[in-house]
Structure 1
Amino acid sequence: MPTTSPAVLPVLMLFASNVFMTFAWYGHLKFKGSWLPLAVVASWGIAFFEYWLAVPANRWGNAVYSAAQLKTMQEVITLVVFAGFSVLYLKEPLGWNHGLGFALIAAGAFFIFHKWS
């Protein structure tokens, strides 16, 4: 296992995997005129690299985090990555309602990670 902290490495890998997956799922939206089967095959190719990051991130991360914590972390990371992708790549603005929705999901993450006595 790499020398990065066992608590930090899965987070970094999940961020990187989410960048790949976001491009796999939504990157083709800038190329709506392209042949759909080509978009699907290209997305599969991108997703291949996502799996090479996500699977080890979850396996190594499970030494530090529960499966529920890893899944919650992945969902929050997905929203952060997607928000940036949406604004920077797709040029679609985010409104107050998106921020409120993301905040509610972050509140849910708080309850997953909070240690209750």
Structure 2
Amino acid sequence: MQTIILLVLSNIFMTFAWYGHLKYKEVSLWKVILVSWGIAFFEYCLQVPANRYGHGVFSATQLKIIQEVITLVVFVGFSIFYLKEEFRWNYLVGFVFLVLAVFFIFKKF
């Protein structure tokens, strides 16, 4: 659970570092880059330990799949609540396919 919590927190920082500036297009690009790097530092401070602690419990492939699913879940919330973008039905269909991908990655055949 520690790995998942760290991944969620790191993704919140990552999402703000990568996309938070979209609401502030009047700010100079160089300023946005510096602020994004500062935010990304905290993302790395959570992401690296998450992968370090999680490897062994999960394979590297499983960690990456978990990371991608968390990234998409965090991003959907971010885009709806922060950027005020709408969530479309085809996004939901895509997420269902991603959940199926997670199933197949974790299933022992």
Q: How far is 1:69 from its partner?
A: 0.3
Q: Number of aligned residue pairs: give it.
A: 109
Return the structure number with greater helix share. Answer: 2
Q: What is the RMSD of the two structures over their aligned residues, measured on CA atoms?
A: 0.5
Aligned to 2:70: 77
5+ long unaligned stretches in structure 2 = none
5+ long unaligned stretches in structure 1 = 1-7
Alignment equivalent of 1:13, drawn from 3, 6, 10: 6
Q: TM-score, normalised by structure 2?
A: 0.98
Q: How far is 1:46 from its partner?
A: 0.2
Aligned to 1:5: none
Q: How far is 1:63 from its partner?
A: 2.2
Q: How far is 1:105 from its partner?
A: 1.1
Q: TM-score, normalised by structure 1?
A: 0.92
Is it true that 1:50 corresponds to 2:46 in the alignment? no
Q: How far is 1:80 from its partner?
A: 0.3
Is it true that 1:95 corresponds to 2:88 in the alignment? yes
Identity of aligned residues (%): 58
| Structure 1 moving runs of 4+ over 3 Å | none
Aligned to 2:102: 109
Aligned to 1:3: none
